[in-house]
Amino acid sequence: MEKEIKQLSMKIAREIARTVKKLQFENINLGRKIGIGADGTPTEYIDKITEDIAIKYVKKSNLAVNILSEEAGFLDFGGDYTLIIDPIDGTRNAVRGIPFYATSIAVGKDTLNSVEYGIVINIPTGDTYIAEKGEGAYLNNHRISTPQHVSGKTLSSIVLGESGDRRMKNLPYMDNVRSFGAASLEMCLVAHGAVDSFMCLKKHLRVTDIAAATLIVREAHGVVVNREKKQLDMPCDILERTSVAAAANNEVITRLLG
Q: Are residues 104 and 222 in the same domain?
A: no
Would you say the C-alpha torsion 91, 123, 86, 247 has a positive or negative sign?
negative
Beta strand ranges found along the chain (DSSP E):
33-36, 42-44, 65-69, 73-75, 81-89, 102-108, 117-122, 128-132, 136-139, 142-144, 158-160, 177-178, 197-205, 223-225, 242-247
CATH code for the domain in which residue 195 is found = 3.40.190.80
The verdict on 21 and 84 lying in the same domain is yes
Residues 111 and 209 in one domain: no
> What pLDDT is recorded for position 161?
46
pLDDT under 70: residue ranges of the chain: 1, 26-43, 148-176
Question: Are 131 and 240 members of one domain?
Answer: no
Element of type H or E holding 13: helix 3-25
144, 177, 211 — which closes off a domain?
A: 144
CB 256 within 8 A of CB 158: yes
- Same-domain check for residues 122 and 171: no
**218 and 241 housed in the same domain:** yes
Is residue 76 domain-resident?
yes
Whether residues 117 and 244 share a domain: the answer is: no
For residue 43, the model assigns a pLDDT of: 67
20 lies in the same domain as 57:
yes
Which residues, 6 or more positions from 171, have their beta carbon under 8 angstroms from its beta carbon? 158, 199, 256, 257
Q: What is the pLDDT of residue 79?
A: 94
**Number of compact structural domains in the chain:** 2
Supply the range of the domain harboring residue 40: 3-144
Q: Is residue 190 part of a domain?
A: yes
Identify residue 144 by its one-letter amino acid code.
Answer: I
Q: Which of 144, 176, 207 is the last residue of a domain?
A: 144
- Does residue 165 share a domain with residue 98? no
What pLDDT, in 10s, does the model give residues 98-139?
999 999 999 999 999 999 999 999 999 999 999 999 999 999
The dihedral through the CA atoms of 168, 174, 179, 183 has a sign that is negative
Supply the CATH number for residue 60's domain.
Answer: 3.30.540.10
pLDDT digits (tens, 9 = 90+) for 219-231: 999 999 998 999 9
Q: Where are the alpha helices (DSSP H) in 44-131?
A: 45-61, 91-96
User: In this structure, is residue 192 part of a structural domain?
Assistant: yes
134 Rama class: left (phi>0) / alpha (psi -120 to 50) / beta: left
222 belongs to a structural domain = yes
- Nearest-Å Rg of the Cα atoms of the chain is 17
- Whether residue 32 lies inside any domain: the answer is yes
In a domain, 151, yes or no: no
User: Which domain-ending residue is among 122, 144, 166?
Assistant: 144
Q: 134 Cβ partners below 8 Å, 6+ apart?
A: 219
Alpha-helical runs (H) found in 79-206: 91-96, 183-191
Residue 149 inside a domain? The answer is: no
Look at residue 153 and tell me if it is in a domain.
no
Domain shared by 138 and 167, yes or no: no
Q: Are residues 184 and 135 in the same domain?
A: no
pLDDT of 45: 76
- Residues 80 and 163 placed together within one structural domain of the fold: no
